[in-house]
Amino acid sequence: MDADQLRAALSTVVAIPVTPYGGDGWVDTQAYARLLERLVDGGIGVVTPNGNTSEFYALTHAEARLATELTVKTVGSRAKVLVGVGHDVPTAVDAALHASEMGAELIMIHQPVHPHVSLAGWIDYHAAIANAVPEIGVVLYVRSARIGGAELRELGARCPNVVGIKYAVPDPVRFAGTVADAGADRFTWIAGLAEPYAPSAWSAGARGFTSGLANVAPEISLRMLAALRANDFPAAMKVWDLIRPFEQLRAASENANNVSIVKEALAQLGLCRRDVRAPSTVPSPEDAAAVTDILKRWALR
């Protein structure tokens, strides 16, 4: 593992592919491969099977493994594969070892699902998983405001292979403080709430951002990346404005349709079925019509 090389590779759009389902309700591997090809052909450098946009928590462990294998095989050396792992520690370790064996260079550890988290236990949880795969890089997915720079610094000291932080607390001041306290250069900081939060996070040290939008329009995500890399915030905010109605549909009702709207767009483009699994549902006809309008505005249909 070359930590510097992985940190550099994470300074980009980190796309989370959706997991398409067939008419039988199970993972449609052909459609999945097609969507991955489209991401990589579109210039995306990091893909994250088994992220939240992949409906990780609606997949069985066997399906998550299938997604890992399929992604590594399809993407090859054209992009880095960042495999989402989680659940209890033994299960997460198994999934991490599997990702490493399959040839993935990075894993992303989902936040612990467990409701009783101590700060020391949070560190132990991530260290147990990261230390099981010292040969590959690790990205943390921070969704709790309780986790600050001190915890991240300690974890970084215990696990040299932790190279990135995907930060998903919607508070730019907390983010800036965490970057300052944990070390701006120790990790690649990835805005974990996608394009809407990317400019504010970039202003405080983020050098990458996650994206579900990239499934639909990788070019738009990369346009925002280019603007941010050039420190051209007015240009970044122009992209922000362009995608705002799409991201608002995804965020409504506490993110109920976060994935459904992306799949609706992909279905309208003929790329996969719109089906999502419970506890998500397909969008309302009104929301689907709004997606049509957006795709037209983006000149995608």
Q: Name the residues that contact a copy of itself, by CB under 8 A.
A: 52, 55, 57-61, 87-91, 112-122, 124-125, 128, 146, 253-260, 276-281
Q: How far is the CB of 270 from a copy of itself (least distance, A)?
A: 24
Q: How far is the CB of 249 from a copy of itself (least distance, A)?
A: 12
Strands 137-142 and 106-109: parallel
Q: How far is the CB of 118 from a copy of itself (least distance, A)?
A: 4
CB-nearer residue toward a copy of itself: 27 or 75 = 27
CB-nearer residue toward a copy of itself: 7 or 250 = 250
SS3 category, 109: strand
CB-nearer residue toward a copy of itself: 6 or 139 = 139
Contact between 47 and 17 under an 8 Å Cβ cutoff? The reply is yes
CB-nearer residue toward a copy of itself: 119 or 242 = 119
Q: How far is the CB of 256 from a copy of itself (least distance, A)?
A: 4
Q: Is 60 exposed, middle or buried (0-12, 13-18, 19+ CB in 10 A)?
A: exposed
> What is the secondary structure of 256-287 as a DSSP string?
TTHHHHHHHHHHHTTSS-----TT--PPPHHH
CB-nearer residue toward a copy of itself: 188 or 257 = 257
Nearest CA-CA partner of 74 in 30, 42, 109? 30
Residue spans of alpha helices (H) in the chain:
3-9, 29-41, 61-75, 89-102, 119-130, 149-158, 172-182, 194-202, 218-229, 233-255, 258-268, 285-297
Q: How far is the CB of 259 from a copy of itself (least distance, A)?
A: 5
